[in-house]
Amino acid sequence: MFRNIKVGIILLFGISLNIFGQNQRAVYLDDSKPMNERIEDALSRMTVQEKVAMCHAQSKFSSAGVPRLGIPDLWTTDGPHGIRPEVLWDEWSQAGWTNDSCIAFPALTCLAASWNKDMALLYGKSIGEEARYRNKNVLLGPGVNIYRSPLNGRNFEYMGEDPYLSSKMVVPYIKGVQENGVAACVKHFALNNQETDRNGVNVNVDDRTLYEIYLPAFKAAIQEGDAWSIMGSYNLYKGQHCCHNQYLLKDILRDEWGFKGAVIADWGGVSNTREAIFNGLDIEFGTWTDGLKKGTSNAYENYYLAKPYLDMIGKGEVGTKELDEKVRHILRLAFHTTMNKNKPFGSFGTQEHALAGRQIAEEGIVLLKNTNNVLPIDLKKTKRIAVIGENAIKMMTVGGGSSSLKAKYEISPLDGIKKRVGAQTEVVYARGYVGDPGGSYNGVVTGQDLSDKRSADELLAEACAVAKTADYVIFVGGLNKSDYQDCEGVDRVSLNLPYNQDKLISELTKINKKLVVVNISSNAVAMPWVTKVPAIVQGWYLGTESGNALAAVLMGDVNPSGKLPFSFPVKLEDNAAYTMGEFSGKNHQVSYNEGIFLGYRWHDKQNIKPLFSFGHGLSYTTFEYGKVTADKKEIISSDKITFTVNVKNTGKREGSEIVQLYISDLQSSVPRPVKELKGFDKISLNSGETKTVSFTVDSSALSFFDTGKHAWVAEPGDFEAIIGASSTDIKTKTGFKLK
């Protein structure tokens, strides 16, 4: 409230100064004027010192405005899954507010697993309202880096392995956020696909792979989503850090894509003043992340784009052309956000947002396996349920790095199950294993103390004893958001489940035939027990309403409809980054030797059977696909072609199916994937209902990036349109020709 009053006074003072003090009409304050005119007017009134001050942080999460002109400060916030609690001006420590507990939304892998663009819009709108209410101008998210390896600790913040799926899901998220007058800051641009040596590793990747795999989601965010800001990544590319990278920020982002917004450095991502000046960076944040170093009373003034920049201008070493461009981008961001008089008020921590998060969670949960229809649980025939596993009680809204949240509340899986079954069914709990008993992460204190002094054998014995007496056993395990799991800053060390969970699950398979394994993670895990467990559910990190959403799916209140946004390999060697020799690299160099062949593209090429395929997900009902037809058999490059297929719900209950279109180039002059996702549609069908699904594509869906021409090329020849329920569950296909 105080900040809003302060901004209002500053704005009023700025108007008075310009109208009466300078006797000039303040065009920049008139939002009826064209944006460019307002920007140039404001720029013309600013001193060099004021311009430079806008280009670097003044606190942990803010950069300066121009009080003299009524231009407010710019406030940013983590993260993509919820609004970070307030921290002190110069420290990461919590500010101690009592009214900054947010709604925690599901991790972005869960959103991607919904394959539902409406859910992406709802997500963006809801989190944008939370940011707006807290007077945050820039939301540091969403993340769209590609899932290259199941060991990347930060995969939970991203949207999977496929550039097309990520592109289609990120656009509505951005639009939802920005309709609140809050800028989405798409991250991390680009090639930030590992946490190991993330500040020092140089990524070696060919142009075709860069353009076909790692750039499309960013391009869609800019050109289709109209994102107002973008964040550079920590790693290097072509020997330059990505926060001031000539090729990425100037040649591609500005010149090829026409980006007019602000480029924001990741915290600590800047390392060179001259490169920061000339290579496209606009705002420097977090260079010394504790705020006060270098023996000064205000370290922010010594950031690379602060006093060193002013000194270079004063000495005549650099001009102010680049400075003016930076300020133009920042002013554009300000006019969209801090100085947007028409932005709504927002809302925070509401039940409406919690229910939105629950809906997204329910749509993203994936039923991986369901032998003999073990699920859903029939409570009329179930007297006792055993819930086993630490993840059934552990808070998951905290941890993971910068996205750690102080949630208003979090429903655990155990509490969600108990609440759903009520008094009619007994629910008993056994710990099963001890993973991370801690309750403090990145300044957020959960209040949980999960310490347990019992030995692994004692915990195993208790779990087995409980399982013997139950009608159903629900094991809730997987990863957590601690170091070396799903966590920023470090990568996983193994594909296997930690804390000896594989042994525990294997023992439970011998005791109870109605065993359901719920894997809480945002990464693929090995499942050596997969053939012995009748039902497996991919649970993700589901946020505030986690337990309620999971219980609704397990009990059949909600028919599962999520599908995997990345492949589950059987073993680590089935992942292309490992087969081709490099994941995290060595000597500060990593080479993407697999090129365009990652995820399902690699499995198709090598004829590798995955544990669970990209796009895989089961339902409590069944679907029947008709034969796909095309409205043309031949097209030219300027044509569009439409593929149509009927899908029928042949089961006994309503359900949603995600129909997937893949395109295959049957005769190409360059190596191409066997097939690539080029369309999807999530449809809801009542029992016995049939719907027609249509996909219309143009030559861009047939194209590859020609590095010689530096252009997208669709070669004449034969193609196939493939309709599948996953990348391996192919239902129907039809051929066509590009002339």
pLDDT along the chain (739 residues), means of 10: 44 44 74 96 98 96 97 95 93 91 98 98 98 98 98 97 98 98 98 96 98 98 98 98 98 98 96 97 86 63 94 97 98 98 96 98 98 97 97 95 94 98 96 90 84 95 97 98 95 96 98 97 98 98 98 98 98 94 91 97 98 98 98 94 98 98 97 98 98 97 97 97 98 97
C-alpha 375/C-alpha 362 separation (Å) is 15
- CA separation, residue 28 to residues 3, 47, 321, 325, 403 (Å): 22, 16, 20, 16, 35
Q: How many Cα atoms are found within 13 Å in the side-chain-facing hemisphere of 601?
A: 23
C-alpha 710/C-alpha 252 separation (Å) is 12
What's the first-to-final CA gap in the chain, in angstroms? 63
256: exposed, middle or buried (Cβ count in 10 Å: 0-12, 13-18, 19+): middle
3-state secondary structure of 578: helix
Domain annotation for the chain: domains and CATH numbers: 1-71+235-335 (no CATH), 353-602 (3.40.50.1700), 622-738 (2.60.40.10)
Main-chain phi, psi angles of 182, to 5 degrees: -115, 130
Q: In what order do the strands lie in the sheet with 229-232?
A: 62-63, 74-77, 138-139, 183-189, 229-232, 262-264
Residue of 41, 73, 266, 282 marked catalytic: 266
Task: Write out the two tokens for 511.
Answer: 């005791």
- Closest-CA residue to 659 (of 619, 607, 703): 619
Cβ-proximal residues to 256 (8 Å cutoff; 6+ apart), any chain: none
pLDDT attached to residue 13 = 44
Q: Are 524 and 530 in contact (CB under 8 A)?
A: no
The alpha carbon torsion through 268, 269, 270, 276 (nearest 10 deg) reads -150
Quote the pTM value: 0.95
According to DSSP, the residues that pair with 283 across neighbouring strands are: 264
What does the buried/exposed string (b/e) look like for 513-523 if buried means 16 or more CB atoms within 10 Å of the residue's CB?
ebbbbbbbbbb
Cis amide linkage into residue 188, ω under 30° from 0: yes
Does the annotation count 502 as an active-site position? no
pLDDT attached to residue 296 = 58
3-state secondary structure of 439: coil
pLDDT attached to residue 444 = 82
C-alpha 228/C-alpha 225 separation (Å) is 9
3-state secondary structure of 53: helix
Q: How many Cα atoms are found within 13 Å in the side-chain-facing hemisphere of 191?
A: 34
